[in-house]
Chain A
Amino acid sequence: MDLFISAASEVFAPANLLILLASTVIGIVIGAIPGLTVTMAVALAVPLTIWMETTPAMLMLLGLYGSGIYGGSISACLLNAPGTPASAATALDGYELGKQGKALKALKVALWASVYGGLFSIVLLVLIAPQLAQVALKFGPAEITCLLIFALTVVSVLSGDSIMKGLFAAALGMLLATIGADPMLMIPRFTFGVDELFDGLAYIPLLIGLFAIAEMFAQSEQSFRFGATILSIKDGERDENRIYAEDVKKCAIPVIRSGFFGAFIGMLPGLGAAVASFVGYAETKRASKEPEKFGKGAIEGVAASESANNAVTGSAMIPMLALAIPGDPPTAILLSALMIQGVTVGPLIFANNPDVVYMIYVALFMALVATAGVAAMFMKPISHVLRVPKVFLYPIILSMCVAGSYAIRFNVFDVFVMLGAGVLGYVMRIFGVPVAPLLIAFILTRPFEESLRQALIRSEGSLMVFLEHPIALFFLILAVAAVAFTVWREHKTGHRIGEQG
């Protein structure tokens, strides 16, 4: 309890609250603009946090993370283009409601469903993360190696539409992570005499490049133009945009059920908010007595999608905090930000830095409160950002990316790394290769290599060490099962598509 009070007193400092409020507004705005994602917002903010204390730094990042996913629902309802991939399912019914003059109602329902989903996931985070960390404390190098094999496999096979491309991306991430001094003997690998490469490729320029710069290159293909009609929040009768008891009754069960699905999906590495929102939406449609109304303006479709995608925010942090395994790109970036702050994430964080853990709990909760407050009060003005031409936004983002990447180590080399990562991310996008497995594999490779080599030193080179430890063997079996299941599912889907011609 003392830790909660101390964390709350830090978060409630006026300067910190101001940072949280500002990042919440920026998060909603960035989330609302199609093409600017939550991941990009968090990635852009990381360089700014380097010179901050841990509390304001995490408040800024969690404010962006927590609010950005809700922001995506604004463009989903008004533009029929989700601001973030996580809101794609929201657009199915949200835009239809907008066309019926009920955009404000859709946004209100989206907001309260998001708040429920977020709150539910924070409760799960507080309850589950410490227990998981307790279990993880018993892991030795062999168990950690196999856990990381499992995490890398699951991230790779579940992240994209193609299992092979996901695995390829993860392997590429591992390859890039081998650049720099090897972690055991400090022997340089692929540094080509460049001093800046001795410590390896810096995380932040890499992730800014993969997510922000690659997105800019992709948007430049269409000259940053978007041809859809923007609906106005002012359209429609006032009475039609009120939430009535009947609406609450209609949405309650879908919101609760989708929150559960979202939280569960968030805990699994590699799936993320976009998958959660579609699963929540699909399950609500399946359970509905009127499934034919979905896609034509069913309010419970909006509620289910938003509850599910926001339930990912807290639950994705469970494996990140307890096992140092990020579930999706935003949590991978949060993990890097904590490392920059000198906080070692993993099971020991609950013993060594409990203050940081409790601060994260409180910050996530406050980000949710701030999102609800800002969105409820400023929904109309925020909706106007959709009219800002993107051709003005991206050069400004480029300028921020260049400044942020330079500022990390004060060298232009890192800025070139950022651009290189941007080109790589763009090429991967063209060829349909998911970027998330690359980033997560890049982050996990160093601990993976360390634990694997430690395990092999202990076993004097025998690979049997991974089969003799029951927990290690369990994770290996899970990894194989995950691949087998995904291959079977792809095969079955291929057959079904073939049968349907």
Chain B
Amino acid sequence: MKTDRIFGCVSALLGLLFVFLAVPSITGDWQQGEQARYFTVGPRLFPYISGVLVTVFAVLIALKPDGMNSIAAFLQPGAAKRALFAIVLAFVYVALLEPLGFIIASVLVLFAFFIGFGERRWKLIVPIAVIVPIAVSAMFSGFFKVQLPPGLFAISF
């Protein structure tokens, strides 16, 4: 119940910030033009509607919590740490994508992923970490003619 209340309150606050700070940042220039005669509502209407709806439903979640969530699994020992590791690793992967290239970044991240999640069967993890990125890159460039970021080593198939 408490989790839902916190979620509702934070979401409502973000919704209010969106409605009062973000939506007014959309330009109102269109009202000065000739076209203003035809358009009865402008580009701010939908952001306002969606922002207000997000806020209202978030408040209702906070006021009437149902307690149906998966926070218990998230709060189990080590669960949050493992999820955070996966999230950080995924962002590092994408950050390395252009500087190192798809293949090298993927090899490093796959390897880190296996090690990070306790896999120590080297005869399996080394070939998988190397072969999968090369196979994916070959599939995209060979079959779909899409060049993934080459980075340090431009390998073409």
Question: What residues of chain A have their CB less than 8 Å away from a CB belonging to chain B?
Answer: 48, 50-51, 161-162, 164-165, 167-168, 171-172, 174-175, 177-178, 182, 184-185, 187-190, 213, 216-218, 220-224, 389, 391-392, 394-396, 398-400, 402-403, 406-407, 410, 412, 415-416, 419, 422-423, 426, 429-433, 445, 449, 452-453, 456-457, 460-461
Are the CB atoms of B94 and A187 closer together than 8 Å? Answer: no
List, in ascending order, chain B residues with CB within 8 A of A175's CB.
18, 47, 50-51, 54
Selected from B49, B68, B128, the residue in CB contact (under 8 A) with A162 is B68
Are the CB atoms of A164 and B22 closer together than 8 Å? Answer: no
Are the CB atoms of A403 and B82 closer together than 8 Å? Answer: no
Are the CB atoms of A431 and B43 closer together than 8 Å? Answer: no
List, in ascending order, chain A residues with CB within 8 A of B102's CB.
402-403, 406
Are the CB atoms of B148 and A406 closer together than 8 Å? Answer: yes
List, in ascending order, chain A residues with CB within 8 A of B146's CB.
51, 407, 410
Which of B27, B54, B64, B102: most chain A CB closer than 10 A?
B54
CB-nearest residue of chain B relative to A185? B30
How near does chain A come to B18, taking the closest CB pair, in angstroms? Answer: 7
Known interface pairs A220-B82, A395-B128; 15 further A-B residue pairs with C-beta atoms within 8 A, sorted by A's residue number? A161-B68, A164-B66, A168-B58, A168-B61, A171-B53, A174-B46, A184-B39, A189-B26, A190-B22, A217-B86, A221-B74, A391-B117, A399-B110, A419-B90, A445-B50
Within 8 A of A (CB), among B92-143: 93-94, 97-98, 102, 106, 109-110, 113-114, 117-119, 124, 128-129, 132-133, 136-137, 140
Question: What residues of chain B have their CB less than 8 Å away from a CB belonging to chain A?
Answer: 3-4, 7, 11, 18, 22, 25-27, 29-30, 35, 38-43, 45-47, 49-51, 53-54, 57-58, 60-61, 64, 66, 68-71, 73-74, 76, 79-80, 82-83, 85-87, 90-91, 93-94, 97-98, 102, 106, 109-110, 113-114, 117-119, 124, 128-129, 132-133, 136-137, 140, 144-146, 148-149
8 A–B contacts, CB within 8 A, in A order: A162-B68, A172-B50, A175-B51, A222-B79, A399-B133, A407-B144, A432-B66, A445-B50
Selected from A161, A174, A400, A429, the residue in CB contact (under 8 A) with B66 is A161
Are the CB atoms of B136 and A399 closer together than 8 Å? Answer: yes
* Complex Cα gap A182–B114 (Å): 44
CB-nearest residue of chain A relative to B29? A187
Selected from B4, B66, B94, the residue in CB contact (under 8 A) with A419 is B94
CB-nearest residue of chain A relative to B102? A403
Are the CB atoms of B30 and A187 closer together than 8 Å? Answer: yes
Asked if A402 meets B93 with Cβ closer than 8 Å, knowing A161-B68, A396-B128, the reply is: yes
Asked if A220 meets B117 with Cβ closer than 8 Å, knowing A398-B93, A407-B148, A431-B4, the reply is: yes
* Complex Cα gap A188–B28 (Å): 11
Are the CB atoms of B69 and A430 closer together than 8 Å? Answer: yes
Are the CB atoms of A392 and B43 closer together than 8 Å? Answer: no
List, in ascending order, chain B residues with CB within 8 A of A190's CB.
22, 25-26, 47
Asked if A185 meets B145 with Cβ closer than 8 Å, knowing A403-B136, A419-B91, A431-B3, the reply is: no
Are the CB atoms of A403 and B137 closer together than 8 Å? Answer: yes
How near does chain A come to B155, taking the closest CB pair, in angstroms? Answer: 14
Are the CB atoms of B133 and A51 closer together than 8 Å? Answer: no
Are the CB atoms of A429 and B61 closer together than 8 Å? Answer: no
Which of A190, A403, A406, A449: most chain B CB closer than 10 A?
A403
Are the CB atoms of B57 and A403 closer together than 8 Å? Answer: no
Query: 10 closest A-B pairs (Cβ-Cβ)?
Result: A432-B69, A182-B43, A461-B40, A171-B53, A220-B86, A168-B57, A174-B50, A221-B79, A175-B50, A395-B113
List, in ascending order, chain A residues with CB within 8 A of B79's CB.
221-222
Selected from A50, A177, A220, A426, the residue in CB contact (under 8 A) with B85 is A220
Are the CB atoms of A164 and B35 closer together than 8 Å? Answer: no
Selected from B35, B71, B94, B132, the residue in CB contact (under 8 A) with A431 is B71
List, in ascending order, chain A residues with CB within 8 A of B4's CB.
431-432
List, in ascending order, chain B residues with CB within 8 A of A423's CB.
87
How near does chain A come to B149, taking the closest CB pair, in angstroms? Answer: 7
List, in ascending order, chain A residues with CB within 8 A of B49's CB.
174
* Complex Cα gap A430–B74 (Å): 7
List, in ascending order, chain A residues with CB within 8 A of B29's CB.
187
List, in ascending order, chain B residues with CB within 8 A of A389's CB.
119
Are the CB atoms of A164 and B64 closer together than 8 Å? Answer: yes
List, in ascending order, chain A residues with CB within 8 A of B3's CB.
431
List, in ascending order, chain A residues with CB within 8 A of B149's CB.
406, 412
List, in ascending order, chain B residues with CB within 8 A of A217's CB.
83, 86-87
How near does chain B come to A448, taking the closest CB pair, in angstroms? Answer: 8
CB-nearest residue of chain B relative to A167? B57
How near does chain A come to B40, taking the closest CB pair, in angstroms? Answer: 4
Are the CB atoms of A174 and B93 closer together than 8 Å? Answer: no
Are the CB atoms of A422 and B40 closer together than 8 Å? Answer: no
How near does chain B come to A469, taking the closest CB pair, in angstroms? Answer: 17
